[in-house]
Structure 1
Amino acid sequence: MSGRECTAGEAATTERAATATKTAAQPKGWLVDLLLLGALWGASFLFMRIGAAEFGALPAAAVRVSVAALFLLPLLFLRGQAGALRQHWKASFVIGILNSGMPFALFCFALLTINTSLAAVVNATVPMFGALVAWAWFKERPSGWRLVGLAIGFAGVAMLASRNAGLHADADGHAATWAVLACLGACLCYGIAASATRRHLGGVPALATATGSQIGATLFLALPALWFWPARMPSARAWLALTVLGVACTGLAYILFFRLIERAGPARALTVTFLVPVFAVFYGTVFLGEHVTAWMLLCAAVIVCGVALSTGLVKPGKQA
């Protein structure tokens, strides 16, 4: 064997070893991202409730997206992706209304009445709405167990809405119904935004899409937020909550989410849906003294089963 062949063989061996090392390390990396993302998005309900209590729903949502936009803009220019945003700004702005502006405002409205844990459990239905929108838009009809999962998931939501579990002390059942409907409306917005992103922003850098969406949401909420701006200046605690919400739970979370899709694929990234309610319940119990009932836990289990089936994450009867 010649020296060149030996060198080539050694290089190939080294490359295979490096690839194996990278593959072995990759699961640990994406699992860390998954846990961090679940912790951040779980905390978003805590910070939304704190901020909305003093700002109101629309101003709180507006501050959140504006802080996120200010956080993401410098990163966009540092990574040289401003051109991608200029090219696709119209689609990014419109999707930002669906993916951030409207759902954030709806969740802030809901959290004026219901607890963070209840809102987070309803939020777990997002993949089911995504499946329904994809069915209507792309004709991707779910079949078999996925249809069963959709029915189970929405039955779990109906069970939640049928009792006054997870209400604030001064709220009534009528207000709870509107709050749950607001959460479902937010989930529907997320589902539409996912299909719209797939149709109109495929191949666009994730950072450009995320930044454009936050700018679009900021513009959408600016006038309503000014109109409903509280007469009394909110406390430093509320400002801090919305700042952390914008930077960590929105800007940083977007980066983690798209990186998770790149590292682990969409199916694994989707499993963050199961972690968000866990973290949200923990934060609400520890920091807000919220009470989680056995009925809420039962409904959460029903919804999670429905999501797992409707998204294909669990396929009964299929051999590994």
Structure 2
Amino acid sequence: MTTSASVSGGAQQEGVRSWTTALELVVLGAVWGGSFLFMRMASGPFGASVLVELRLLFGALVLSPFLYRAHLHIKRSQWPYLLLAALLSSALPFFLFAWGAERAPAGIGAITNSLAVLFTALIGFLLYGQRISRRRVIALFTGFFGVVVLMSHRTGGSGIVLAALAGTTAACCYGFSANIIKHHLSELPPVMLAAISLWLAALMMLVPAALNLPAVVPPASAWLAAVCLGMVCTGIAYGFYFRLIKRIGAARAVTSTYLVPMFAVLWAWLWLGEAITPQMICAGALILGGVIFSQRDKAPRG
């Protein structure tokens, strides 16, 4: 009886954990989707450079407790890779997405953001000789075709094209940074690495932000959006994400990003009244479908 009860209790706990994990993945996707809404709200009043600096500072402050005794973990040879990772995982992509948010609906950046998974595989193949399967090659072409469809959206003028190009470049930056972290910085505690990256990126963006201060003090709504973008969508979300990776593994945790475009478009529609167009739906289906299709591949050998 005791053994049977223990097995039953263990199964119930596993079921609860499964539902909890699923809920956490959805919440994380919703929070990251909100980052594109907040960028859309605050990028105009602040400008891309200043908004990114605020985002980095607020996010870094949230994660600063994880920097305790960081000097004991970092080797001198790792600093060049840390600087490169900070540039490509935070400073440059954050700026590109914020710059795009000034010119196009929030959903544009969120949809192109999904290409990061595919760029990670492509750059791993080109720079590190990692195997890339036929399935992922197909997914890459499908995703890039989705970007072309997205850029065919003419109702927003050239802003749509520029924002799509900026978002695609930002996703490429994420692909580079993911490989740099995997091959050169994997020994560092993940949340500590995120905190260091945000602080280094904040230093990189300090001069551009100082040279592009807004002429008029932004309204309270823009300040609130900037605070939420930095503290919630960057600092807290990063910590939450790495907690999930530790518990369920990176392969499952990354599925939260599949929900980002859907939530970004939803929040922008609810709060800003931005239209959900056929081009956005088609492009999102192509890019996201390609990403999901590629993730069904077997783990690469070697």
Q: With the length of structure 1 as denominator, give the TM-score of the two structures.
A: 0.85
Q: Distance in 2 between matches of 1:19 and 1:248?
A: 34
1:278-319 per-position Cα deviation (integer Å, ceiling 9, x unaligned): 11111000000000112221221111111122333699xxxx
Q: Distance in 2 between matches of 1:191 and 1:93?
A: 16
1:118 to partner: Cα distance: 1.8
1:120-160 per-position Cα deviation (integer Å, ceiling 9, x unaligned): 11111111111111111221232222211111111111111
Aligned residue in 2 for 1:3:
none
Runs (4 or more) in structure 1 with deviation over 4 Å come to 12-22, 85-90
For residue 182 of structure 1, the aligned residue among 144, 148, 166 is 166
> Are 1:47 and 2:43 matched, yes or no?
no
Asked if the contact 1:93–1:216 (Cα under 8 Å) also holds between the matched residues in 2, the reply is: yes
Letter in 1 for 2:73: A
> Are 1:260 and 2:244 matched, yes or no?
yes
Asked if the contact 2:59–2:235 (Cα under 8 Å) also holds between the matched residues in 1, the reply is: yes
Letter in 2 for 1:73: S
Q: 1:199 to 1:239 in 2, by over 3 A?
A: same
For residue 148 of structure 2, the aligned residue among 143, 148, 158 is 158
Aligned residue in 1 for 2:189:
205
Q: Distance in 2 between matches of 1:198 and 1:230?
A: 38
> Are 1:83 and 2:67 matched, yes or no?
no
Q: Distance in 1 between matches of 2:84 and 2:173?
A: 12
Letter in 2 for 1:43: G
> Are 1:125 and 2:115 matched, yes or no?
yes
Task: Give the gaps of 5 or more residues in structure 1.
Answer: 1-9, 316-320
Task: Give the gaps of 5 or more residues in structure 2.
Answer: none
1:15 to partner: Cα distance: 8.5
Aligned residue in 1 for 2:100:
110
1:203-229 per-position Cα deviation (integer Å, ceiling 9, x unaligned): 211121010010011011000100111
1:22 to partner: Cα distance: 4.8
Asked if the contact 1:149–1:306 (Cα under 8 Å) also holds between the matched residues in 2, the reply is: yes
Asked if the contact 1:128–1:311 (Cα under 8 Å) also holds between the matched residues in 2, the reply is: no
Aligned residue in 2 for 1:196:
180
1:71 to partner: Cα distance: 1.5
> Are 1:35 and 2:19 matched, yes or no?
no
Q: Distance in 1 between matches of 2:242 and 2:4?
A: 32
Asked if the contact 2:112–2:167 (Cα under 8 Å) also holds between the matched residues in 1, the reply is: yes
Secondary structure of 2:73's match?
helix
Aligned residue in 2 for 1:318:
none
Q: Distance in 2 between matches of 1:27 and 1:198?
A: 27
> Are 1:311 and 2:282 matched, yes or no?
no
For residue 73 of structure 1, the aligned residue among 42, 45, 64 is 64
Q: Distance in 2 between matches of 1:14 and 1:209?
A: 43
Letter in 2 for 1:292: I
1:86 to partner: Cα distance: 8.0
Aligned residue in 1 for 2:224:
240
Q: Distance in 1 between matches of 2:223 and 2:139?
A: 40
1:59 to partner: Cα distance: 0.9
Letter in 2 for 1:305: G
Aligned residue in 1 for 2:203:
219
Q: With the length of structure 2 as denominator, give the TM-score of the two structures.
A: 0.90
Asked if the contact 1:41–1:253 (Cα under 8 Å) also holds between the matched residues in 2, the reply is: yes
Secondary structure of 2:216's match?
coil
Q: Number of aligned pairs?
A: 297
Q: 1:272 to 1:313 in 2, by over 3 A?
A: farther
How do residues 89-108 of structure 1 correspond to structure 2 at under 5 angstroms?
Answer: 90-108=80-98
Asked if the contact 1:85–1:212 (Cα under 8 Å) also holds between the matched residues in 2, the reply is: no
- RMSD in angstroms over aligned alpha carbons? 2.4
Q: Distance in 1 between matches of 2:139 and 2:286?
A: 10
Aligned residue in 2 for 1:134:
124
Asked if the contact 1:85–1:208 (Cα under 8 Å) also holds between the matched residues in 2, the reply is: no
